[in-house]
Each structure stands twice: as structure tokens, then as C-alpha cells.
Amino acid sequence: MALWGGRFTGQTSDLFKEFNDSLPVDYRMAEQDIVGSVAWSRALASVNVLTADEQQKLEAALNALLAEVKADPSIVLQSDAEDIHSWVEGKLIEAVGDLGKKLHTGRSRNDQVATDLKLWCRQQGEGLSALLAQLVEALVALAEREQDTVLPGYTHLQRAQPVTFAHWCLAYVEMFERDRKRLNNALELMNTSPLGCGALAGTAYAIDREALAKDLGFAAATRNSLDSVSDRDHVLELLSVASISSVHLSRMAEDIIFYNTGEAGFLEMDDQVTSGSSLMPQKKNPDAMELIRGKCGRVVGSLTGMMVTMKALPLAYNKDMQEDKEGLFDTVDTWSICLKMAILCVEGIKVNAERTYQAAQQGYSNATELADYLVAKGIPFREAHHIVGRAVVGAIEAGQPLEDLPIETLKTFSEQIDDDVYQHLTIEACLEKRVAQGGTSKEQVKAALAVYKK
């Protein structure tokens, strides 16, 4: 039975019912709706709308319903209730009769849905934060294993300067750590309870909303009823954090896909996260990474969708807001499975240190070192840069890396180049010179690892 039948004499069309009902989506908030209802029953008892006995009966029935839902969440879907709020109320009335009809006193589905959704976001956020921490852990473990592995560092996808594989891992650690902090900030900001704001103007019962908020585990009650029932910032924030994090996941996936190519051969992904081709027997495709890269599109799409849904909505509640859940739920599910997949993939990465070393040796990625060498000999950097540019052209023509050119040849580019140049051109020398904070030298990478192992 609809919650609002009295005002109507005509029938609702089936199409409208299908269009308007949100149960197929918001059934996922059953637990939050019941928990919120228990707290509301206590608030009603505190202002003598319910007797202590009535409140206890309602609470017991709601808890029984909660146990039923937890045992089998699909029972909610076997109903034609309009939404999760109608479903819970209907079940309560079924269980305790007329007493159940008292629960909605002073409450609206508008403050109810806002409360349910915040509770849901909070619960999911905690799980996601833990997954981000696990991914960071997996990357730190890989970094520890690959501290001595050299990797060509790229800009413009051209070999630029050598780095260590650990340094690459820790770059993503930084990103996922920021995501975790962003998520925690968002969770903190949404930690206020809208319950007791009624439909829009506030509730007509002198309920202690702060106590009610604490009962639900919120830090405080919201301050303005109009804002409380129409605020979906927490949805936008979760979608934003998820989008930024998905971009990070997608970038990492892209790096791994490239490192895993036959051309690069820097690493191999584990069999358990790759798949074959139905036609080409030799193939082992990085599907997991491609899907992580691909799903990012849907997550960012949901953020865009919700931004546009909220734009220009007048105060206070509008049914448009019912559209908040589909994209949010899908985003949380997608982000969560992508994080789990990324953890599994990172754990199974086998790096081919010989290949990465060879690749770092090619591509003239020690050219900056030669320029720095000339700077140390008193040549201004801009001039040194030009000299080395010409030396690289010479080396390309000779088909050799810089460090294999004989000293006589090197001297044709600058008289200042002496025999001691060769010790500056090794990969080890390139790496070890990056000693300032944040650089790729072993010492700096060790220091960064120490921070994360804490």
C-alpha cells in the first residue's frame, strides 16, 4: 500500500509506478532505514509521542526485521513497495499492527532518505578506506622487493631518466594515500545527521536532535532543515573521490599494460589475472588492467551525471534527487572491485630486472648527466645542454650509447670532457645523484619506504 493514498481518488498508472518506484535500487539501504527508524522511535518516546512500552515493541519488531533482512537481503525485493522506507513501514505494521502506524510521526521520507544515505555512505566509506590502505601495502611490498631494480623513467612516453622500480611504486602509493585522506575528509564532513528535519521546515516535536545524532553514531546534528533534506554534497564528494582515485587506478593500469607488452617486457602479470585469446594461442592479455582503465569512464560518468542532476535544483527536496543512488551505488561497487583487482594484480607482478636495466641503458637517458658533468667543469647549463644535444646526434649516427663513444670522439663536442666522464654516465651514477628529498636515489627511496612502513 502506498504511504500517501488518502489524497487520491484516481488510480496510479502501472507505468508511473514502475517509473517512480525506487525499491529496486534503494533496497540496499534496508539496514540503514531500520537502524534510523529505531533511533527515531527512541526520539519519539523522549517527547512522549510513544510510551516506553510502545517504543520497546517497535524496537523489538524493527530488530527482528533487521535480522531477517541480514539473513536474506533479497526478501526486500519480493515486494511491490514504492521504496525502502515504505517497505520498512509496511513490514512494521504487518508485525505490530496499528502501533506501527505511529512511527512516522514528525518524520518525512525526506529527512529519512537523507539520513539513510549518509549512513550508507559512511559504512561503505570505511570499507573503501581499508581497501586503499591494502593497495598501498601491496605497492609498498613490491617497492621493497624492487629497490635495486632500474626502470627507465619516461616523459612524453620517451625514455627520459632512469629511476628505480621502487620509486615508480611509491609514486602510486602517494596517489592512493591522497585518495585515502580525501575519502576520510569526505567522511568527516558528512558526519552530521539530518534526522529530525522533517519534510523541509523541521519537525514539530521538541526532539533533542543532537542526542538523536549521537544515537546514530553521527558527530552532530545538521543545522538547517532546508539544507539537510536537499543536501547531496556527500554523494558528490564520494563520487569525486572515487573519480580521482579511478583516474589514479587507470593511470597505473596503463603503465602496467605498457610494461607488460612484448616490446617493453618489463614485467609479467600473473596467470590468475590475465586471459587468453579464442583465436591466437600465444596471447596472454592484461584484461584486468584494461578493465580497471575502462571502468574509470563509468565512474567519472556518474560524477558528471549527479553534478548535472543537482545543478539548478530549487530548495528543498525534489524527486530528481532519487536519481542519486544508482550512480553512487554503481560507483562504490566499481571502485571497490577495481581496488580489489588492483591489489591482486600488484601482488602477482614479476619484474624482469634485466629487461628494465637494458631499456634504461638505451635511449640516451644519461644525457642530463653529461650536461651536469660539463656544468661541474664551469660551462653554463644552457651551453652544456646544447653540447650534449650535438653529442647525442653524433652517438645516434655512430649507433652507440654515449658511454661507448671513445674519449677522442667525446672531446670533439667539448674540450672539457675528460676520461673521468665515464663514471658519471653509468645508470648507477644517474640514480645515486638524485639525493634531494623525493628523488630516486636508493637512500631517498629507503627513507620514503620507512615512512610508509610506519
Out of 46, 129, 134, 322, the only residue in the binding site for ligand ARG (CB under 6 A) is 322
363-392 mask for ligand ARG (x: CB under 6 A)?
A: ------------------------------
Task: State yes or no: is 245 an active-site residue.
Answer: no
Task: Reduce the secondary structure of 383-395 to three states and give it as a string.
Answer: HHHHHHHHHHHHH
Given the rule CB under 6 A, which of 72-80, 91-99, 315-323, 365-373 is the region that contacts ligand ARG? 315-323
> How large is the C-alpha radius of gyration of the chain?
30
- Size of the chain in residues: 454
Q: Taking CB under 6 A as the rule, does residue 225 contact ligand ARG?
A: no
Out of 321, 342, 384, 391, the only residue in the binding site for ligand ARG (CB under 6 A) is 321
Rounded distance between C-alpha atoms, residue 242 and residue 301, angstroms = 11
Residue 298 and residue 262 in contact, taking contact as beta carbons nearer than 8 Å: no
Given the rule CB under 6 A, which of 108-116, 159-167, 218-226, 292-300 is the region that contacts ligand ARG? 108-116
Out of 33, 83, 89, 177, the only residue in the binding site for ligand ARG (CB under 6 A) is 83
Residue 188 and residue 122 in contact, taking contact as beta carbons nearer than 8 Å: no
Out of 41, 55, 110, 334, the only residue in the binding site for ligand ARG (CB under 6 A) is 110
CB of 137 to ligand ARG, least distance (A): 37
Give the list of residues 6+ apart from residue 160 with CB closer than 8 angstroms, or none: 152, 153, 154, 365
CB of 362 to ligand ARG, least distance (A): 58
416-445 mask for ligand ARG (x: CB under 6 A)?
A: ------------------------------
Out of 113, 139, 328, 343, the only residue in the binding site for ligand ARG (CB under 6 A) is 113
Q: How far is the first Cα of the chain from the last one, in angstroms, to the nearest whole number?
A: 56
Residue 46 and residue 74 in contact, taking contact as beta carbons nearer than 8 Å: no
Given the rule CB under 6 A, which of 170-178, 297-305, 314-322, 412-420 is the region that contacts ligand ARG? 314-322
CB of 17 to ligand ARG, least distance (A): 13
**192 phi, psi to nearest 5 deg:** -125, 145
Given the rule CB under 6 A, which of 59-67, 281-289, 318-326, 402-410 is the region that contacts ligand ARG? 318-326
- b/e per residue 181-220 (b: at least 16 CB within 10 A): ebbeebbeebbbbbbbbbebebbebebebeebbebbebee
Given the rule CB under 6 A, which of 64-72, 263-271, 319-327, 347-355 is the region that contacts ligand ARG? 319-327
- For 245, the grid coordinates are 582515485
How many amino acids of this chain bind ligand ARG (CB under 6 A)?
A: 10
Given the rule CB under 6 A, which of 43-51, 212-220, 313-321, 416-424 is the region that contacts ligand ARG? 313-321
377: number of Cβ within 10 Å: 15
333-362 mask for ligand ARG (x: CB under 6 A)?
A: ------------------------------
Out of 28, 42, 91, 109, the only residue in the binding site for ligand ARG (CB under 6 A) is 109
CB of 139 to ligand ARG, least distance (A): 38
C-beta of 113 vs 132, nearer to ligand ARG: 113
C-beta of 206 vs 312, nearer to ligand ARG: 312
Which position among 129, 156, 336, 441 bears the catalytic label? 156
112: number of Cβ within 10 Å: 27
C-beta of 26 vs 215, nearer to ligand ARG: 26
CB of 146 to ligand ARG, least distance (A): 48
Q: What does the DSSP assignment read for 210-243?
A: HHHHHHTT-SEE-S-HHHHHH--HHHHHHHHHHH
Site for ligand ARG in 20-39 (CB under 6 A): 22, 26
Strands 158-164 and 192-193: unpaired
Report how far apart, in Å, the C-alpha atoms of 156 and of each of 153, 159, 160, 193, 244 are.
10, 8, 9, 48, 22
Give the list of residues 6+ apart from residue 205 with CB closer than 8 angstroms, or none: 43, 44, 47, 49, 105, 106
CB of 361 to ligand ARG, least distance (A): 60
C-beta of 109 vs 118, nearer to ligand ARG: 109
Task: State yes or no: is 156 an active-site residue.
Answer: yes
Q: Give the residues across from 350 on adjacent strands.
A: 268
C-beta of 307 vs 393, nearer to ligand ARG: 307
Rounded distance between C-alpha atoms, residue 152 and residue 150, angstroms = 7
Which position among 277, 365, 386, 424 bears the catalytic label? 277
Report which of 419, 392, 396 is spatially closest to residue 406, judged by C-alpha positions. Answer: 419
Rounded distance between C-alpha atoms, residue 106 and residue 120, angstroms = 23
Q: Which residues are catalytic?
A: 156, 277
Q: Which residues bind to ligand ARG, rule: CB under 6 A?
A: 22, 26, 83, 109-110, 113, 317, 319, 321-322
